Structure 1
Amino acid sequence: MIIVLIGYMASGKTSVGKKLAKKLNYKFIDLDDYIVEKENMSVTEVFKEKGEIYFRKQESIYLNKLLKSKKNRVLSVGGGTPCYSGNMDVILNSKNVKSIYLKASLNTLVEKLMRKKATRPLIAHIETETEMTEFIGKHLFERVQFYNQAEIQVSIDNKSKDDIVEDIILELF
């Protein structure tokens, strides 16, 4: 089975994904890291040098390739991945794939991203909590229609990564 973790940035797709993969004895793959490896440049550099359209096209190609695998794995995808190129339909219609939305409240995301904004180019320029709330709120409004299509939704609010992993395992098995 391939377990695809989707959700907004800072929802824990990578950190929860790694713990989940370890617990299930599956391989873990982060789609952004996979793209970096294949393109030989960071996601930021791909956006800057080749543009978002190129990035989204490659992202879709690599996602399709990874979803065709017969091996058990946990795959975390970027926050925007489900929203472009029919990727959510590909995830939902792939054999032996389960999609899980790591759902976080706006307050949880704002709190997490205010602490991590220096490492996130998309939000590094945001200075106040009010601006962050507006930015994330707008983004979530655009993306939640895709996220909500996931087969399973797991809330991450006020939970440890271990609790989130347990919730996912209970939902899956």
Structure 2
Amino acid sequence: MTIVLLGYMASGKSSVSKLLGKLLALPVIDLDTYIEIKEEKTIAEIFETKGEIYFRMKEHQYLKEVLETKEAMILSLGGGTPCYANNMNLIHEYTKDTFYLQTSIPEIINRVKDEKAKRPLIRNISDEDLPEFIGKHLFERNVFYQQATHHIFTDNKTIEILVEEIRESLH
């Protein structure tokens, strides 16, 4: 069984995947971490030195590499992964257990406001422009996120509740 978690930045993909992996006794792969290990650079460094197009090509390559192992796992995607290189079609070739962790704009802003420096996409966006940037970005990405088999709303829920909702959806 391969379970794929997707959603915008700060939707809880990494935290949920870790707890879900423990609960289901499955290995957890965070695609961004996998890319960083393979490229021997942080995502931010890849964006800065090679650019987004290079990153998206590598992201697709490594996504395919992970999926082709056909091992049971929890796979946590980067926020943009579903939106490029026909990645959602690729993912659905390997699993139907895809979960969109849907988070509201105010909640995303609340979660990222103190960690902007760690997030290349919003590092240089002013606090005042953040709501519009995130709203526009979510609008553009929504068509891809909506292709997930399951939608889980994350606002005002603990990681434990989200994991339980996912587990219940698997049966």
TM-score if structure 1 supplies the norm length?
0.94
Q: Share of identical aligned residues, percent?
A: 48
Cα contact 1:67–1:97 (8 A) shared by 2: no
Pair 1:56-2:56 in alignment: yes
Taking the aligned partners of 1:97 and 1:33, their CA distance within structure 2 comes to: 23
Cα contact 2:44–2:119 (8 A) shared by 1: no
Consecutive unaligned residues of structure 1, counting only runs of 5 or more, are none
Taking the aligned partners of 1:48 and 1:126, their CA distance within structure 2 comes to: 16
Q: Which residue of 2 aligns with 1:19?
A: 19
Taking the aligned partners of 2:48 and 2:118, their CA distance within structure 1 comes to: 16
Q: SS where residue 3 of structure 1 aligns?
A: strand
Cα contact 1:11–1:104 (8 A) shared by 2: yes
Q: Which residue of 1 aligns with 2:154?
A: 156
* 1:100-111 correspondence runs (5 A): 100-111=99-110
Give the counterpart letter for 1:138 in structure 2: K
Give the counterpart letter for 2:97 in structure 1: K
Task: Kindly report structure 1 stretches of 4+ aligned residues shifted beyond 2 Å.
Answer: 124-128
Consecutive unaligned residues of structure 2, counting only runs of 5 or more, are none
Q: Which residue of 2 aligns with 1:47?
A: 47
**What do residues 62-89 of structure 1 show as CA deviations (whole Å, max 9, x unaligned)?**
1011112232110111100000000011
**Cα RMSD over matched residues?**
1.2
Give the counterpart letter for 1:140 in structure 2: L
Q: Which residue of 2 aligns with 1:99?
A: 98
Pair 1:126-2:125 in alignment: yes
Taking the aligned partners of 1:29 and 1:2, their CA distance within structure 2 comes to: 11
**What do residues 24-73 of structure 1 show as CA deviations (whole Å, max 9, x unaligned)?**
00001100110111111111111222221111111101101111223211
Q: SS where residue 115 of structure 1 aligns?
A: coil
Taking the aligned partners of 1:2 and 1:68, their CA distance within structure 2 comes to: 11
